[in-house]
Amino acid sequence: MTPLEEILQRHPVWRGGAAFSRAAAVPSGFAVLDGELPGGGWPTGGLTEILGLQQGIGELRLLLPALAALTTAGKRVIWLAPPHLPYAPALAAAGVDLARLAVVRAPGRRDSLWAAEQALRSGACHALLAWFRNASYAELRRLAVAAEASCALVALFRPREAAREPSPACLRIALEPVQGELAVRILKRRGALAAAPLRVPLKSPLHALGRSPSSPPASGDARARRSLGLPVHA
């Protein structure tokens, strides 16, 4: 063994080329992503920023496998100030244990930042999903410190414009829809820079249906639809 190899083995020397150290993480459930994320999944004990162009491109489906795994293991998940109603049937269908999920409504920016900090400091929250319209660097820094003290996965959903601002997050990803798929670009991570955007094979709602649409009916009653073999709930 050469002295260099010996040193590298004995001391925790950070190497630029090697992507990551052994950081604590929750597997994301997507092999493509886990391979590029430090620790092999969503980092815990630090902020993860998810910057999306718009809503409805799969930003939640990206986190669902991790949330399902956490909740079924009895860990608690908090959704803080979500922009719409989190839809229980869809979450349950994805395998999330709803008994371990709580939604917190916070009217103002200060209240939501306060609630996020309380949740992280309580030690009883293992994943925090938060939607902040805007937050200053100092406020995010405060959250990052609280996140470090906890062992929680903290995902902050922020608008794409926030990518230009500095951030204390240990992972920042930008989401883009590309030909009906979700492309994830890692803007910042612990370790070396990531190169190309990753195509993440999300579970599409269309797979469950496996059918292309027929022309929209102008009118029709349930009996007619039944004879066509289309789903009817009545």
Partner 1 sequence: MRLFGGLERLLERLREGLDAMELTTQFAVAPAARAAIWRSRGGGARLEELPLEVTGFDCGEFFRNIGISTVGELLKLPREGLARRCGQALLDDLDRALGTAPEAREYFLPPPRFAAKLELPAEVSHADGLLFAARRLLVQLEGLLAARHAGVRGFTLTLLQSEASTVVEVQLASPAREAGRLGRLLREKLATLSLSCPVEAIRLEAGDFSPLHARTAGMFGDALAEDEGWERLAERLQARLGPDALYGLATHPDHRPEYSWRRVEAGEWDPREFRHPGPRPLWLLQAPRPTREDDLQLLAGPERIECGWWDGDDARRDYFIARFSDSSLGWVYREAGAWFLHGLFA
Please report, as ranges, the residues that interact with partner 1 according to CB under 8 A: 53-61, 64, 74, 76, 82-94, 97-107, 111, 114-115, 118-119, 122-125, 177, 180, 205-206, 208-209, 211-214, 216-217, 222, 225, 230-234
For partner 1, which is the closer residue by CB, 100 or 158? Answer: 100
The 3-state DSSP class for residue 100 equals helix
For partner 1, which is the closer residue by CB, 101 or 147? Answer: 101
Smallest gap from Cβ 144 to partner 1, in A, equals 19
* Closest-CA residue to 119 (of 149, 97, 87, 74): 149
Smallest gap from Cβ 6 to partner 1, in A, equals 37
Q: What whole-number distance in Å separates Cα of residue 71 and Cα of residue 73?
A: 5
Contact present, 49 and 166 (Cβ < 8 Å): no
Kindly give, in sequence order, each residue whose CB lies less than 8 Å from that of residue 126, ignoring residues fewer than 6 positions away: 70, 75, 76, 77, 151, 152, 153
Smallest gap from Cβ 96 to partner 1, in A, equals 9
- Calculate the alpha carbon distances from 165 to 125, 137, 191 in Å: 28, 8, 20
Q: What is the DSSP string of 6-34?
A: HHHHHS----SSS------EE--S-HHHH
Smallest gap from Cβ 122 to partner 1, in A, equals 4
Smallest gap from Cβ 35 to partner 1, in A, equals 24
For partner 1, which is the closer residue by CB, 64 or 162? Answer: 64
For partner 1, which is the closer residue by CB, 15 or 203? Answer: 203
DSSP-derived pairing of the beta strands 46-52 and 171-178: parallel
For partner 1, which is the closer residue by CB, 17 or 83? Answer: 83
Smallest gap from Cβ 185 to partner 1, in A, equals 16
